[in-house]
Amino acid sequence: MKNFSIYGLLAVMSLGFAACDNYEEPNPAPQTNPQTSVLQTSDITAASKLTAEAYNLKDLNDANTPILVSDLTVTAMPDGYEFKAVAQVSADNFATSFECPMTVEAVDSSNVYNVYMSADDLQSLYYDNISHNPAQTKVALRYALYTVYNKQEARVGGPEQYYGPYEVNFVPFPPTRVIDDKYTVWFSNDGGATTQKVELQHSDINPYDDPVFSGKFDITPGWQWFIAGTTSEFGVVSGLENELSGELIPIKEGGVNGVLNESLPYLLTINMETLTYEFSVAVEQLYTPGNSNGWSQEASQILTTNDYVNYSGYAYLNGEYKFSTAPNWDGTNLGSTGVEGELTTDGGAGNLNSGAEGLFWLNVNIANLTYTATQCTTYGLIGSATEGGWDMSTPLTPSADFLKWTGTVKLFDGEFKFRANDGWDINLGGALENLTAGGDNIASPGQGTYEVTLDLSTVPYSCKLVKK
């Protein structure tokens, strides 16, 4: 073996390095590891500085006073380094969370740092992502900590390390407009004595997040009306008689009674965030014309309602379809805005699309112009009267149009229901001749083997049990 001097070895190495100039990196480029922080988690102690008393975000913002979230005690901070922190704020235990900037400042030369959040940043995050509700509330907060040197950031403890979580109790900014929990429409036939007052319906959602209220009324021509909440009353612009839509004006600001001159069943919808109202003819049902029925309303399945706002039902869909309020094209037709889950009454709007052929459970809110379409890939029986008990559905077989589901099923004494997709989001119960969504458990007709036919083609939905 020949011996190489150190100089010869260096010469060989230099030739090797020179040869790398034209080296092509693999595609894709090799992975690079994130920067490693100069500090470890053991070098830092974090302590919450949040108070149990609720922070008033408006007062803090007006005083330009931030919220002190925590402090950090560091064993030794290397020269030239500083901290950066980014908060995650959540109202559902971090199932979802939203980022918010923070400020980290050195307290003195003793390696103690304070971590702040601005009241305005917290308010903006809360209002834009969580809720418009101005009532006192709580959120969870945790933050990632970074060391920064010469604009290079490195997360302390790695990508899964957070400080916290902490609970922040606060009062959001007051609303620009108070929205009451309840509104009532008052009608009179002489502008004075009340002849009818009916509370408008509302969802279970906080009214600041769902400011829409609605109700159905049978109106006598000439009746006057106004809206009353618990804190204020609203009318319309002076002189606008028989206007079916427009702006609500506070009575104390000059609003006057509206007047309706047609004898029709009306649905009144008010939006207390935009202060607008609309009277529309109350629709008894929605039709589902589309590819699956030759675009025929009369051949389509219908959606029904209990409140003239929310409509639901089953339909066989195969691609494009629309919702319509009449058994022809003379009513209001609801099509696609281009955004999934949103509807428009624009007559030139595009069609909705089921994306697959099958049975769908449809929900439509005509006040908010929203909808959901959930495909039912399975349907079956479940309950103490079935072989699977309450743990496993006994499947049925669909017809070609998915509107009738049949099977031979062994039943025992007990109770049962029908459900889709082996889950409880979509289920039927109640009387066999009048099955309803989420209805009561059904009593077994007795032990035996039965031919089961679940009919979802017409309303009311029904089931026949024929003992073999």
Res. 21: pLDDT tops 50: no
Q: What is the pLDDT of residue 277?
A: 94
Q: What is the pLDDT of residue 265?
A: 81
The CATH code of the domain at 41-171 is 2.60.40
Res. 290: pLDDT tops 50: yes
Residue 373: which H helix or E strand, with range? Answer: strand 370-375
Res. 370: pLDDT tops 80: yes
- Do 41-171 and 379-467 fold alike per CATH? yes
pLDDT band of residue 241 (cuts 50, 70, 90) is low
Q: What is the pLDDT of residue 25?
A: 40
Q: What pLDDT digit, counting tens, does each position of 374-410 carry?
A: 999 999 999 999 999 999 999 999 999 999 999 999 9
Could you count the other beta carbons within 10 Å of the beta carbon of residue 53?
8
Whole-prediction pTM:
0.65
Report how far residue 152's alpha carbon sits from residue 373's, in angstroms, rounded to the nearest whole number: 48
Q: Domain residue spans in the chain?
A: 41-171, 183-281, 285-375, 379-467
Torsion over CA: 114, 94, 147, 119 (sign): negative
Q: What is the pLDDT of residue 91?
A: 96
- Give 37-101 as a DSSP string: PSS-GGGEEEEE---SSPEEHHHHHHTT--EEEEEEEES-PPTT-EEEEEEEEESSTTSS-EEEE
Q: What is the pLDDT of residue 217?
A: 83
Q: Which of 227, 230, 207, 209 is nearest to 217 (CA)?
A: 227
Res. 32: pLDDT tops 60: no
Res. 361: pLDDT tops 50: yes
Res. 347: pLDDT tops 90: no
Q: What is the pLDDT of residue 238?
A: 75
The CATH code of the domain at 285-375 is 2.60.40.3620
Res. 20: pLDDT tops 90: no
Torsion over CA: 149, 154, 156, 162 (sign): positive
* 379-467 belongs to CATH 2.60.40: yes
183-281 CATH, one of 2.120.10.30, 2.60.40.3620, 3.10.129.10, 2.60.120.200: 2.60.40.3620
Q: What would the mean pLDDT of 237-244 be, rounded to a whole number?
A: 73
pLDDT band of residue 308 (cuts 50, 70, 90) is confident
